[in-house]
Amino acid sequence: MRIAIPVEDISVEGKVCPSFGRAPYFYLYDTEDGHTLFLQNSAAESQGGAGIKAAQLLVDNQVAVVLAPRCGENSAKVLHSANMHIYKTVSSGVSENLALFAQGKLALLDKFHAGFLGHAE
Amino acid sequence: MRQLVILSGKGGTGKTTVASSFIKLATAKTYADCDVDAPNLHLIGSPFPSVKQTDYFSMPKAVINANLCISCAMCRKYCRFGAIVKDKTYKVDAASCEGCGVCAFVCPAKAITMEKTKAGDLLLYSDTDNTVFSTAVLSMGSGATGLLVTQVKKQMKAASGETPLAIIDGSPGIGCPVIASLSGADMVLIVAEPSISGISDMERIIGTAQQFQVRLAVCINKYDTNLLQSSHIESYCRTRRIPFVGKIPFEPMAIKAINQGKYLVDFPCEGAKALADVFAETMDLLQAEVV
Amino acid sequence: MRNNDLTIAVLSGKGGTGKTLVSVNLAALLPDSTYIDCDVEEPDGHLFFKPVFGTSVPVMVKTPQVDENRCTGCHACVDFCKFNALALIGSTLMVFNEICHSCGGCVLVCPRKALSEKERMVGFVREGISRGVQVVTGTMNIGESSGVPIIEAELRIKEKNINNLTFIDCPPGSACLVRKSIQEADYCLLVAEPTVFGAHNLAMVYALVSSLHKRFSLVLNKCLGGEENPSEVFAIEHQIPIVGRIPFDSELGLLNSEAKVVVWESEKYRQLFSSILTTVLREAHHEATGNS
C-alpha cells in the first residue's frame, strides 16, 4: 500500500509540510516493497484550487493513505472519493510519523477546514 | 504564530485605525495590509528603512498574435467574459481576461497564447529590529484577488521568524480576497459600525466567517454616534454567543492622527483608552486555548 | 436639456466615504429616476429606500456536469481547467463549484462530449419602487467568490429603462467589480473624505476613471471647516471639478445611520443635495455638448 506525506524538501530526514495543497513535494512510501519516491507537487504553484490538484496527483499515483497535519475540505472530498484514508501527523519528522502509523498510533484526520475558494494556505 | 485578521464587511468603519493601534499596542513584529484595492496601512507610522519588491503575477492572460490572426472572431464568440475586443484587429482586454484558455483552444489559426502577466508589486518592508510589513500595490487594470492576498500573507509568514502574533488588515466585502484572508486565521475581529446599513454589513461578514468556521469577535467603533444601533449590535452578539470585546467612541483625534500618519493610541484621548481595552480583551481571547 | 438616458456612477475607492449617501439622495430627489446598487457583496441602498420589492430574480451561472456513460476518464477536462475546479476519480468527475469560473472550456475539450452545463444560483436581483424611484438591488450569496454575474444582471435591467436618470452605487475598491459597474456609465461622480486615506484612495479611482476615458467630477464629504482637506488639494492639483461639499454634521450622520433618506426628512438637506444635483447635471451635459 502506498503512503503519501507532504514534505518541505527531498530528504527522508526532511520536515512534514504544514500545507497539503502547496507542499513542494510528496514523499511516497510503498509498504509492500519498501520503494520510496519524491513526487514534485505541480499544484504548489497553482493560482487556485491547489488542494484539489494535489489530491488529483495522489489519486493518479495510486496512493492509499495520506499522512498530513491538515487538509482542506475540497482536497478531502477528492481523497475520500478515491477511498483514501487521511491520518493526522503528530510531529514534523517524516520517518517518525511513518513509524507511528505502522504501529497504529496515528489518529484519523477528521476536521477539514472549509475550502477557501482554492486559496487555502 | 497566531494570526489575527481584522475585517469589517463594509469600509469606513475604522478597520485600519483599529489595526494600526493594535500593531502599536502589541509592538507586533509582523503585520500585513491585505486591502490591496485601497491600501492604507503604510500611511501610518514611520517609514521603514528597507523594502524588497517582488513581481506579482496573476493568471496567465490570453494574447493574440496579430500576424497569425485571421479575424474569424471565434475567440470573441466563445469568450464568456467579454474580453475580446475589436479595434482594427482583435485584441484581448487584459483587465477582463480571466485566463481560462478557451480562446486559445478554439482559435483555428493557433494565434492565441497564454502569457504570464505582471499584475502588481509585492512589497516587504523590514526594519533592523526584525519588524516586517507585507503589502502589495496593484497595476492599473488588475484586481485584488484571493491569490494576491495569499501571496501577501505568504510573504509575511516567510519573513516573520519566531514572532507570537501577526496582525492582518483585511479588505472590505465578503468575496474572494476576504475569504482568502480567512485561511490560516486564528481569529477574526470584526469592526462594526452602529448604523442600520453597518449592521446589515456586519451580519454578512459574520455569516461568511462562520461558514469557514473561524473564531470570531466583534467590537464597535464610533459607538456613540448611535447608541440605539450600538445596543442592537451588543444584543445580536449576546444572542448568538459571539464574543463582544468592547466599544470605541467617536474620536475627533482619529482624523488628526491619520492625517499626521501617527498611531491614535499615541494621543491621550478617550478613543485611545477604549482601543487599549478592546486590544486587551482581544488578546485574552486570542491566547485562550482553543477548545 | 433632458436627463433621459443619463447614467451616473458614484464611486470612491474607499468604503464608508459616502457613495450610498450621495447616490441614494440624488436619486431620491426626482421621481422617475433609477437607483442601482452594485455593491452586491454588501448592498445597503434598499435599507434607505425600503421599496416594495417584486419577486426576486435568481442570478445563475453555468457549471459542468458529466454523463458518466460517456466519460472514459481521459483527464482532458482536468488537465485543461486553469482553475483546478475538476477532479477525476476513475470515471467519476467531481466539480468544485465555488472555484469554477464558468468558462465552458471543459465542455469544449471533452473528446467524448461527455460534459454539459447546468445552472446554479450565485445571487439574486430585486426591483421595487419607493416614492417613484425605481430601486434595483443585487445581492451575492455568502460564500461566492465573484459578484460580477449579479452586477451584469442588474445592468441588463437598466438597459430596458433607458428613459430614466440613473444612479449607480458602486462597490468599494477600484478593481474588477468597480470597472464592471462603471463600464456603461455616461458620467462618474467621485466622493472623497478629508483624510490622507481619502486622498490616497481618490487618487486610485481618479486613475481608474481617467484610464477608461470617463468624464467625472467630485463631491467632498464629511468636510470640516478650517482644516486643510487633502482630497480637495488633490482635486485642485488635478483640475477635478468640485460639484459639492457635504459638511461633517452629526445630525446628518445620525439620520444616515438610522437609514433615513435625508432629502425626504429635511428641507435643509433637500436643498444641499439639490444644488449638488443641479451642478452635476450641468457638468455632465456641458461636457457632453463640449465634446460633440
pLDDT at A118: 58
C99 contacts in A (CB within 8 Å)? Answer: 48-49, 52, 74, 115, 117-118
DSSP A93: B
Residue A28 CA, chain-centre distance (Å), reads 9
Instruction: Give buried/exposed letters for B105-120 (b at 16+ CB in 10 A, else e).
Output: bbbeeebbebeebebb
CATH domain A2-68+76-91 topology: Nucleotidyltransferase; domain 5 (3.30.420)
Name the more confident of C268 and A73: C268
Q: Write down which chains contact chain B via at least 3 CB pairs under 8 A.
A: A, C
The domain C60-121 is placed in CATH, from the list 3.40.140.10, 3.30.565.10, 1.10.150.20, 3.30.70.20, at: 3.30.70.20
pLDDT higher than 70, residue A114: no
CB proximity list for B275: less than 8 A, separation 6 or greater: B18, B21, B22, B25, B248, B264, B265
pLDDT higher than 60, residue C213: yes
C52-53 and B112-126 strand pairing = unpaired
Joined grid coordinates for residue B18: 483599529
B291 pLDDT tier (thresholds 50, 70, 90): very low
Contact C195, B255 (CB under 8 A): yes
The whole-angstrom separation of Cα B132 and Cα B122 is: 13
Joined grid coordinates for residue C98: 465555488
Out of A53, A55, A117, name the one closest to residue C98 (CB).
A117
C83 contacts in A (CB within 8 Å)? Answer: 47-49, 118
Contact C208, C28 (CB under 8 A): no
Joined grid coordinates for residue C167: 444612479
Helix, coil or strand: residue A29: strand
Helix, coil or strand: residue B109: coil
Interface probe with B: pick from A22, A46, A119, A121, most Cβ of B within 10 Å: A119
Q: Could you tell me what percent of chain C has a pLDDT over 70?
A: 96
pLDDT higher than 50, residue B222: yes
pLDDT at B289: 58
Name the more confident of C23 and C89: C23
Residue B55 β-bridge partners: B121
The whole-angstrom separation of Cα A79 and Cα B289 is: 31
User: CA separation (Å) from C168 to C11, C102, C136?
Assistant: 8, 26, 10
Do A78 and C85 lie within an 8 Å CB cutoff? no
Q: C142: how many CB neighbours lie within 10 A of its CB?
A: 19
Domain ranges across chain C: 3-30+165-288, 60-121
List, as one string, the DSSP characters of chain C. ---TT-EEEEE-SSTTSSHHHHHHHHHHHSTTEEEEE---SS--HHHHH--EE---EEEEEEEEEE-TTT-----HHHHH-TT--EEEETTEEEE-TTT-----HHHHH-TT--EEEEEEEEEEEEEEEETTEEEEEEEEPTT-S--HHHHHHHHHHHHH-TTSEEEEEPPSSSSHHHHHHHTT-SEEEEEE-SSHHHHHHHHHHHHHHHHTT-EEEEEEEEE-SSS--HHHHHHHHTT--EEEEEEP-HHHHHHHHTT--HHHH-HHHHHHHHHHHHHHHHHHHHHHHHH-
Interface probe with B: pick from A8, A17, A20, A47, most Cβ of B within 10 Å: A47
The tens digit of pLDDT for each residue in B247-269 reads 999 998 888 888 888 899 989 99
* Minimal C-alpha gap between B269 and chain A (Å): 39
pLDDT at C129: 93
CATH (residue range C3-30+165-288): 3.40.50.300
